[in-house]
Amino acid sequence: MIKKFLIHTCIFLIPVIIGYAILENYTRNLPLSPKAKSAFYKKHQNNIEILILGASQNRDAINPEFLSQKALNLAYPDQDYYVSSKLLEQIGPTLTSLKTVIVPISYGHFETAPNQKETWKNSMYRHYFGATISEKFTYFKDNFLYISFPNYYSTKINSHRNGKNTVDCNEYGYNRDVSTSAFYKLKYDSLSIAKSPVPITPLQENPAFIPENIERLEAILNYCSQQNYKVILLETPTTVLFKQQRIPEVLHRKDSILSLIKSKYTIQHIDLDTNNDYSIKDRRDNNHLSTQGAKKFTKRLNKIIE
Amino acid sequence: MLFNSFDFGLFLPIVFILYWVVGRKRIQGQNLVLLIASYFFYGVWDWRFLLLIFASSLVDFYAGKYISKAQTKQRKRLWLYSSLSWNLGVLFVFKYYNFFLDNLKTLFEIPENTFTTLDIIIPVGLSFYTFQTIGYTMDVYRKKIPPSQDLLKFLCFVSFFPQLVAGPIERASKLLPQFSKQRTFGYDKAKDGLRQVLWGLFKKIVVADNIGVAVFAIYNHPESYGSLTIIYGAFLFLFQLYADFSGYSDIAIGTAKLFGFDLSTNFKLPYLANSVTGFWRRWHITLSKWFQDYVYVPFVKGNTLGFLSKQSKKIVGLLLTMGLIGLWHGADWTYLAFGLLHGVLIIIEGTTITRKGKKMKLHQWLETGVFWSKFYTVTFLVVSLIFFRASTLEKAIVMLKEIITQNVAFYNFNLIIGKKIIFLIIMIVAEVWRKRYTHPFTNLEGVFPKIVRWGIYYFLIFAIIRYGRPQEEFIYFQF
């Protein structure tokens, strides 16, 4: 009886397994930015001198194409210091020529919930870079791409199938496509942009998150100090509208933390948020640069690094 | 380990094969496989939780034995109170101590550093298995069941993995004897179990988790929407909670069937109830029955507050029971408010009225199907669940205010989850259509040919894979 049950269950599941295998294979072959970055990483593992960490601001602002040294940009949306530290600890040692690590420091970094301990990105990093960034027990799920975030990958699959793929990566995995950005959708019309809400994080003061975020940043800084990596704490440009929305207390606390970090560690702080010469077309939205802006920004950063 | 995780997808078939292949010849073998599997299932969360569940099991196992052996009523009581003190003490320390202390500090203006709150996590499913073991000891004390003489069976009864972390809260009289019987594999029962698991996964992963996105967006920023969206959000939470918890129960009951066990029904289309009293007979049935048997009835029939009249005692008993049911969900004023609100309505519904010359309780009249009774029940549930969902009492009140004071009802109206709302409709239609059965796939052979049935199952599996979300949590696990 049990044999019959097991056989019937297996027969029933065969189409499901085959269907999923096809889906997973399709997902793995999608031309996504992490895939391009992974190819670059594998090809230039021994020549990469700069590692860029952080969230979408760093991802969009730094196009490694315009840096004199080979750079790997591993910044990704919503990536907190925890994920950055995990990436550094696991990918850093594989980059034999690594000299500089760029870490973001921004208005919202210290008062945003450190909630990336259990992220779907774990499967992405495991697949493309062999790194485990999740604190959780490594789930079976983490070894598959599609199932880690079906909604995200389904959207990518659909756009790819419909020829509307918005990924246009260069050799370094920098996505030059801006068609999904907020300002592009508003046709770079300054009046519409001024009227649109400015998404800003955090929306309210969250001082309770500060200790854990500092702890994680310090983990990065300590690791870099042990490995003799130069650290750049980088601030990327934001619009005047964005600056107006910031909560003064949050900003003040961020500055205090920065002063403390500067006094404790040997780091280079580069604040490029003070530059106001970025045009609307240089931006994707109020706190992200477009391809055009990234070119300007990266060249500027390169000069400072050099 | 969560039911909706891939780990469970691997764990279940392995345990299933071990159970039926290795342990098929002896009850002890089957029980041993179940115990090891259950402890592994639970230990994946945190191995330290195992110490607590093991200690609780031992306390109640021996308390049961000593209660039965005790010669005098005093000694019986002593053992019962020892067991209750342990169980309620553990529950208090892990679940209520910090809440109690914080409120004490506020009430008496005690300086912050006088007593420190405990930095501990609540063991998963603590409230569920503690209630199950309390029920066992009470039943032994009341001589409703004989004490268990076999430690292995008792450990299995407390830790049986399908219902360990979120119920159904089983009675010893129902579940314990099942561990003493040889389980033989039944093809139809296992098939039915698998179908119920599939239906439960659909309800949880596809319906609950996806409407949860809209609920989260609306509850977090009610000020961004007009009253219509807020009401829509409040209704969605009603269904999110149902799909999440009853989905869990379906998976639990279905999984138990795979091992030859029968668990109690926990939900009977609660939102179709015609009264709040009726709702509690259909919602989380095993919990409300537990409170009825071990709190309400002993309170009303016992000598406590003997100076009160019978009627007053019933009212106090109801408020006490419903308040405790509220607090069972969590140490917060919002849960207490939720429970008490229900208590007040149940008391009102318990008043006697005269209809067409006949005396009856208000809820009995409502349950005859008065046309507005369903509307009244659902409206009340929506309002009370706002308290349940909101993180603080203030937020719940803000939400209610937004519904009433928003001038533009249609302002920024948004389904938020778009077409995925169809899954909710599918769930409702299927459950109402097949309301006579424990789950919609029972006896489906008589309704659809095999090809259609398989088509439905594949569709559900597709939806589970396609619309699953990265997070894996059940709302009721926190309780």
The answer to whether the beta carbons of residues B316 and B305 sit under 8 Å apart is yes
Mean pLDDT of A133-148: 75
Nearest residue of A to residue B468, measured between CA atoms = A150
- Which of A6, A139, A154 is facing B466, going by the closest CB pair? A154
The answer to whether the beta carbons of residues A294 and A61 sit under 8 Å apart is yes
Residue B368's pLDDT is 79
Buried b (16+ CB within 10 A) or exposed e, A208-232: ebbeebbebbebbbebbeeeebbbb
Active-site residue B363, yes or no?
no
Task: Give the phi and the psi of residue A233 in degrees, each rounded to 5.
Answer: -95, 115
Residue % of chain B over a pLDDT of 70:
93
What sign does the dihedral A244-A248-A250-A254 (CA atoms) show?
A: positive
Nearest residue of B to residue A1, measured between CA atoms = B187
Rounded CA separation B287/B310 (Å): 25
Q: Residue A285: in which H helix or E strand, if any?
A: strand A283-285
User: Which DSSP symbol is given to B20?
Assistant: I
pLDDT-derived band at B240 (thresholds 50, 70, 90) equals very high
Mean pLDDT of B56-79: 92
Residue B270's pLDDT is 92
Tell me whether B186 touches chain A (CB under 8 Å).
yes
- Which of B20, B458, B465 is facing A2, going by the closest CB pair? B20
State pLDDT tens for residues B339-396: 999 999 999 988 888 877 788 888 887 887 777 888 889 888 988 888 888 777 777 7
Q: Residue A72: in which H helix or E strand, if any?
A: strand A71-73
Rounded CA separation B205/B220 (Å): 21
pLDDT-derived band at A237 (thresholds 50, 70, 90) equals very high
**DSSP per-residue letters across A151-190:** HHHHHHHHHHHTT-----B-TT--B---TTSHHHHTTT-H
Task: Give the phi and the psi of residue B269 in degrees, each rounded to 5.
Answer: 40, 65
Buried b (16+ CB within 10 A) or exposed e, B217-242: bbbeebeebbbbbbbbbbbbbbbbbb
Rounded CA separation B40/A11 (Å): 29
Rounded CA separation B340/B322 (Å): 6
Residue % of chain B over a pLDDT of 90:
49
Residue A117's pLDDT is 60
Domain boundaries, chain B: 47-185, 189-478
User: Which DSSP symbol is given to B120?
Assistant: -
**DSSP per-residue letters across B75-119:** HHHHHHHHHHHHHHHHHIIIIIHHHHHHHHHHHHT--TTSSPPP-
State pLDDT tens for residues B12-56: 999 999 998 876 678 888 999 999 999 999 998 888 889 999 999
pLDDT-derived band at B198 (thresholds 50, 70, 90) equals very high
**Which of A11, A151, A158 to probe the B interface (max B CBs under 10 A)?**
A151
Mean pLDDT of B139-163: 93
Please give the single-letter amino acid code of residue A13.
Answer: L
User: Which DSSP symbol is given to A142?
Assistant: G
What sign does the dihedral A136-A137-A139-A143 (CA atoms) show?
A: positive
* Interchain pair B6, A140: CB under 8 A: yes
Mean pLDDT of A3-12: 92
Mean pLDDT of A143-155: 87
pLDDT-derived band at A120 (thresholds 50, 70, 90) equals confident
The answer to whether the beta carbons of residues A41 and A72 sit under 8 Å apart is yes
Residue A220's pLDDT is 95
The answer to whether the beta carbons of residues A51 and A98 sit under 8 Å apart is yes
3-state secondary structure of B410: coil
Residue B412's pLDDT is 62
pLDDT-derived band at B404 (thresholds 50, 70, 90) equals confident
A164: number of Cβ within 10 Å: 9
Half-sphere exposure of B28 (CA within 13 A, CB side): 2
Q: Kindly state the tokens that stand for A70.
A: 């080979």
Mean pLDDT of A109-130: 82
User: Hey, which of B68-72, B122-126, B366-370 has the most confident mean pLDDT?
Assistant: B68-72
Rounded CA separation B474/B250 (Å): 13
Q: Residue B361: in which H helix or E strand, if any?
A: strand B358-361
Whether B410 has a pLDDT exceeding 70, the answer reads no
Residue A137's pLDDT is 57
Nearest residue of A to residue B460, measured between CA atoms = A16
Residue B389's pLDDT is 81
State pLDDT tens for residues A170-212: 999 999 988 888 999 999 998 888 888 888 888 788 888 899 9
State pLDDT tens for residues B291-303: 999 999 988 888 7
Whether A139 has a pLDDT exceeding 70, the answer reads no
Residue A9's pLDDT is 93
Mean pLDDT of A210-221: 93
User: Helices A2-28 and A150-161: crossing angle, nearest 10°?
Assistant: 60
Q: Kindly state the tokens that stand for A290.
A: 């477009």
Could you give the ipTM of this predicted complex? 0.79
Rounded CA separation B186/B182 (Å): 12
* Interchain pair A140, B21: CB under 8 A: no
- Which of A15, A20, A140 is facing B7, going by the closest CB pair? A140
Residues of B in contact with A139 (CB under 8 A): 5-7
pLDDT-derived band at B475 (thresholds 50, 70, 90) equals low
3-state secondary structure of A100: strand
Q: Which of A13-17, A231-235, B68-72, B105-109 has the lowest mean pLDDT?
A: B105-109
Contacts of A106 (CB under 8 A, 6+ apart): A57, A235, A236, A254, A273, A287
**B184 or B472, higher pLDDT:** B184
**DSSP per-residue letters across B133-146:** HHHHHHHHHTTSSP
3-state secondary structure of A126: helix
User: Quick one: which of A187, A206, A234, A252 has its CA closest to A114?
Assistant: A206
Q: Kindly state the tokens that stand for B188.
A: 């139809």
Radius of gyration (C-alpha) of chain A in whole angstroms: 21
Whether B419 has a pLDDT exceeding 60, the answer reads yes
Q: How far is A129 from chain B (nearest CA, A)?
A: 20
State pLDDT tens for residues A264-297: 999 999 998 887 789 999 999 999 999 999 999 9
Cα separations (Å) of B380 from A278, B234, B282, B375, B384?
55, 11, 16, 8, 6
Q: Would you list which residues of chain A are within 8 Å, Cβ to Cβ, of chain B? A: 1-2, 4-6, 9, 12, 15-16, 19-20, 23, 119-120, 137, 139-141, 146-151, 154
* Interchain pair A150, B465: CB under 8 A: yes
Residue % of chain A over a pLDDT of 70:
97
Buried b (16+ CB within 10 A) or exposed e, B416-433: bbeebbebbebbbebbee
Rounded CA separation A31/A42 (Å): 16
Residue B115's pLDDT is 67
The answer to whether the beta carbons of residues A253 and A207 sit under 8 Å apart is yes
Nearest residue of B to residue A15, measured between CA atoms = B458
- Which of B5, B190, B194 is facing A139, going by the closest CB pair? B5
Rounded CA separation B471/B77 (Å): 46
Average pLDDT, chain A: 89
Q: Which of B117-121, B147-151, B316-320, B415-419 has the lowest mean pLDDT?
A: B117-121
Average pLDDT, chain B: 87
Q: How far is A13 from chain B (nearest CA, A)?
A: 9
Nearest residue of A to residue B9, measured between CA atoms = A140
User: Which DSSP symbol is given to B223?
Assistant: G
Buried b (16+ CB within 10 A) or exposed e, A291-305: bbbbbbbbebbbeeb
Q: How far is B435 from chain A (nearest CA, A)?
A: 27
Residue A206's pLDDT is 86
Rounded CA separation A39/B451 (Å): 45
The answer to whether the beta carbons of residues A67 and A50 sit under 8 Å apart is yes
Beta strands A288-289 and A283-285 are antiparallel
